[in-house]
Amino acid sequence: MTVKYTVNHIPRTTPYNRRPGIAMIPQYLTIHSTGNLNSTAQNERTWLTDNPQNKATASYHVVIDEKEAIEVLPLDEVAWHAGDGNGQGNRASIGIEICESGNRQKTLQNAVKLVAKVLKERGWGVDRLRRHFDWSGKVCPRILQPDNWAGWERFKKDVQKELKPKVVKTKVIVNKQECDAFIYEGKTYVEVRKPFELAGFKVNYDSKTKQTVITR
């Protein structure tokens, strides 16, 4: 399953310095929840630029709901989301907002996939994950806080599972006959002997050189 991902950056001219344009080398991912039971990802994006009632100097990088993810700031720019001023939360972490509206389970599944993707792209593990709570003590992401943050621990475990390379069983057809194979990290692997023998080759293993020799 792939989560729809849209890039829709707020302008540099957005009021209240929500996009300061400060370059950032991210070191962490910080997870939030929106605190609004009725707001979608699109609503949250609109709130940053098109609602005069919003007078907060606050922003984030990506917001995700049950249907889509929207990147509102470049991931290499500072956003004001961690509540720690010029600390590492704001200055060195990518802020991801999880919507509280709609199908909560579906939204969390989408968030797990998104977070795993961002981690994988950077060669990071779950040790790079932080809660808003870790930077400023705010109870956020609140949807993962009940039972002494049991939801947070479960979220991290789900991300870890998503990071593990998946092995998918498949078949390779040689001379109209099936050979067992599997796909791992985008490559297809198959036992050498059967497909080559089906194609008319001789396959021998040399125990001295520990090499497989394939001849006609």
Task: Give yes or no: residues 84 and 11 share one domain.
Answer: yes
SS3 per-residue string spanning 142-184: HHHCHHHHHHHHHHHHHHHHHHCCCEEEEEEEECCEEEEEEEE
174 and 155 within one domain: no
User: Whole-structure pTM over 0.85, yes or no?
Assistant: no
Asked if 13 and 107 sit in the same domain, the reply is: yes
Range of the domain at 133: 4-163
Same domain, 179 and 89: no
Query: Which token pair is 60?
Result: 């984030």
Do 150 and 184 fall into the same domain? no
Q: Are residues 179 and 197 in the same domain?
A: yes
- Specify whether 133 is located in the same domain as 199: no
- Averaged pLDDT, groups of 10, the chain, 216 residues long: 90 96 98 97 97 95 98 98 97 98 97 96 97 98 96 97 86 84 82 82 85 86
**Domain count for the chain:** 2
Domain check: are 138 and 51 in the same one? yes
Query: What is the percentage of the chain residues whose pLDDT exceeds 70?
Result: 100
- Same domain for 33 and 128: yes
* The one-letter amino acid at 178: E
